[in-house]
Amino acid sequence: MTSTRQQVIDAIWGGTLPSAPPEHVHETNLTYGSIATAPGTIKRSKVLRFLLPGGLWTRAQVYWPQAPERRVALIWHNGHGGDGWLTFGEALRRGYVVVDMAMMGYQGEVAPWNNMAIPATYTLAGGGTVAIGTHDSFASVVAAGERAMPVFLDAVFRVVTWLRDRIGVTRVGLAGHSGGGWTALLAGALDERLDIVASVHGWCPIGAPGSPNRDYEQTAPELFAQRGMDYPDYSAMIGARRQLLVTGSGDNIFGSVVLGQVNIDAMVTSIQATGANLAATVFTTSDHGIVVAEANYTVDQFDLVFGCPRYVAPRWSGTLAVAQDIARITNALAGLPRRGTGGTALVPVASWNGIAPTPAGWTAAYVATDLGAGNGRIDISEADYLRLYDASQVATLPGADQTIVTSQRGAFIGR
């Protein structure tokens, strides 16, 4: 018999999910982490550090966008390491607040927080220690009568609380890759504040055909066998909230190449039959890593759930002279490929006429609209707007035009 959400929470957390704020919040400078590689995308950043059971630590990095900021957040969970920039970079370009996380043990850090990296030492509440060499070492923690799951999930729940209570985010979603996909599934099932979850290359019932070897937490008896539950049960628990299952054709761990697409489809159908709002999508991939199409799809789905469509015809209003400069600069960038198009140049096809933007992914040639008395306006497509935030594309402009772009980005409205 499967357990209810509250029964799982009672067993692992004693009644309520953890919600305490981080123990340390550090404002970073503009050369820290991903900021150094994306100066036109990230405005500012904080590092949150969380004390976990056993004296272990983990961290989350919060990024605020340069683009007009929305009051919605995407938590990206890298799982066992890896780079989530494809996904959370796209979210930043669309105005999301983004949180970048990974599992305990897969984030190096200097003292006094060096227990975020494996090897580490878990200090038992009842006395003694357990050497954590891999995640499988947590079986010894459980054998000693203590709970392992808080190490993997506590920080996620606490981040959700921090986003809502401390910085006023109104909607939160969680997506993750591999072990981060496992995290998204479990956290989404247990925390009803998450409006959408996406498991990217990280979902498969235990013992399914072709199922890989997994770390302790991914088969933990206290979450699965002892509760009479498996991955589909947690997926069904998410219910009417949006859930994405993203798989890669060439993924040799959780993809159809090893699991069989027929088996994946059958599992999805059985979950959808419970009434769960689950969408499953297969993308062409060569390995376990994610591709641009998966990242864009994930953020597109977040936009749909949050009622925040992608930027359509952002508008700049001000002096006619500056509007004319922006129109000229936009046209100068029009022949460059939009980020994520694989290098295929987009062709200017029409002039903006105030009625409708050009088809998604295309570029138009724009002119400023004279509003009289020295004022002007320019409406540009989403693709052009994103070019103005693409440092590599803006770098192709003369220095004076780069200055105009930098100073006027924040003046666009109507997103």
What residue segments make up the domains of the chain, in order of their start?
Answer: 5-306, 315-411
The Cα–Cα gap between 55 and 50 comes to: 10
Three-state DSSP class for 343?
coil
Residues with Cβ within 8 Å of residue 175, at least 6 apart in sequence: 74, 75, 76, 77, 87, 184, 197, 198, 199, 200, 244, 298, 302
Q: Which CATH class is domain 5-306?
A: alpha beta
Which spans in 14-115 are helix H?
85-93
Residues with Cβ within 8 Å of residue 34, at least 6 apart in sequence: 42, 61, 63, 85, 89, 100
Give, for all 415 residues of the chain, the pLDDT tens digit.
Answer: 478 999 999 999 999 999 999 999 988 866 555 555 665 788 888 989 999 999 998 889 899 998 778 889 999 999 887 778 889 888 998 889 999 998 887 665 544 444 467 888 999 998 999 999 988 999 999 999 999 999 999 999 999 999 999 998 999 999 999 999 999 999 999 999 999 999 999 988 888 888 888 889 999 999 999 999 999 999 999 999 999 999 998 999 888 888 888 888 888 999 999 999 999 988 888 999 998 889 988 998 898 888 765 544 567 778 889 988 988 898 888 777 554 333 333 333 333 333 333 344 444 556 777 878 888 878 776 667 777 877 778 888 999 999 998 888 767 764 4
Let me know: does 45 contact 64? Beta carbons within 8 Å. yes
The Cα–Cα gap between 155 and 57 comes to: 10
Three-state DSSP class for 65?
strand
Residues with Cβ within 8 Å of residue 402, at least 6 apart in sequence: 394, 395
Q: Give how far Cα 228 sits from Cα of 133, 173, 181, 240, 273, Å.
A: 29, 27, 21, 22, 19
DSSP state of 228: T
CB atoms within 10 A of CB 71: 15
pTM to 2 decimals? 0.74
